[in-house]
Amino acid sequence: MSNLRKKLISKNDSCKSIWFMRQAGRYLPEFREIRKKNKDFIELCLNSELSSQITLQPIKRFDLDSAIIFSDILMTPYALGQEVKFIKDKGPKISEFNIESFLDKNEKGFTQKLNPVYKAIEKTRNNLEKNKSLIAFIGAPWTLLVYMLNMKNSKSVIDIKRLEKEKDKIKIIIKNLINFLCIHIRNQIDAGADVIQIFDSWAGLIPKEKIKDYCYYPNAKIIEFCKKEKIPNICFPKGINEKYEEFNQIVKPDGINIDYQIDPAWAKKKLKNVVIQGGLDPKILLKSDKEMFQEATKYIQTFKASPYIFNLGHGLLPETDPDRVKKLIKFYRDN
Ligand code: 1CP
């Protein structure tokens, strides 16, 4: 059994494990090489051979414990019929949401559209050492909604009036999304993934009084499903600050990724019965070795005797030098 899976199941194993969010991606020259020749990002995610190759790129380069399948959270809206485009330097652009078309989708068609992702997982598992995890992931319903309904005006503003006005519609969408996301989880596990991470990257934009409805409840439903199916899981409700404590108490995931705004000592004290993952600010990899090691030491020391998974407080930045990643991994292994 992979070391990550074992740790998430037992919750008392303090052996070392390390991987990075966005470890497969733009900071790697070998990724950029493939990307240059494959301009359509969704098509690249649907190319099982290439996405499996990209998944394994960081594993070939670095001493990591887990691979994370190269795909995207927006493959779900894609499989539910929305057109998804990635505009260079601007991010994703999604075609207008249509509720009738959305409610018309069924499991068979959804699974068929994502079949190349499942093939990529199968291929990757066959080429990955047994002791290494293969992590699959989904976007949490709220974060997907933000993209699907085009609710984000800029990085940090959400159209709150719209949330109120379209409340009933949003409730129906969330309920249906939970269903399809559980199908996507099941399919990815059946294909060979052994851990699921749930990215709620925009949880921090939810108005405080709505956090139960839009963050805790949907994540809890999905974790309930994972538990029933015995699927090791990690939640990442990014940006919710001290609400991490309540999130953990209500959702009860096996693992929880802290973001870089969370004080690790606070997390160790407040987040109980859960494996803590991550926290380190990805910007630290752009600073000097001394600063990087000093910051890393804070996490290593704080979680020394606990079941901790070394990772970041968000994904690796595209401008990161891969040699700094190598140095950071070596530092973690040596300390
Ligand atoms: O070359 C490029 O331009 C593509 C950049 C890229 C990559 C490498 C995108 C577009 N997605 C990915 C892969 C990806 N996305 C992975 C692969 C595995 C790995 O981590 O190594 C994962 C886990 C994701 C998940 C993802 N996609 C999230 C959740 C994590 C996070 O970063 O908060 C989100 C929000 C997305 C949407 C998305 N996809 C891509 C971009 C640039 C974005 C974010 C856009 C925005 O800020 O709104």
Tell which atom from ligand 1 comes closest to the C-alpha of 45.
13
In percent, the amount of the chain with pLDDT more than 70 equals: 99
Q: Is 117 in the pocket of ligand 1 (CB under 6 A)?
A: no
Which residues does the annotation mark as catalytic?
22, 26, 35, 72, 147
Domain that holds residue 155: 4-334
pTM of whole model > 0.85? yes
> Which CATH number does the domain housing residue 191 bear?
3.20.20.210
How many domains are contained in the chain?
Answer: 1
Round to whole Å and give the CA distance between 282 and 26.
Answer: 14
Give the residue, by CA position, lying nearest to ligand 1 atom 28: 73
Gap between the terminal Cα atoms of the chain:
24
Helix axes 322-334, 48-61, angle to 10 degrees: 50
- 48: helix, strand or coil: helix
Q: CB–CB of 55/70 below 8 Å?
A: yes
Q: Is 331 in the pocket of ligand 1 (CB under 6 A)?
A: no
Q: Average pLDDT of 293-301?
A: 98
Q: CB–CB of 248/171 below 8 Å?
A: no
For ligand 1, pick from 73, 238, 257 the residue to mutate: most ligand atoms within 8 Å of CB.
73
Determine whether 100 is exposed, middle or buried from the number of CB atoms within 10 Å of its CB (0-12, 13-18, 19+): exposed
Q: Dump pLDDT digits (tens) for 80-129.
A: 999 999 888 788 989 999 999 999 999 999 999 999 999 999 999 999 99
Give the residue, by CA position, lying nearest to ligand 1 atom 47: 91
Q: Dump pLDDT digits (tens) for 204-256.
A: 999 999 999 999 999 999 999 999 999 999 999 999 999 999 999 999 999 99
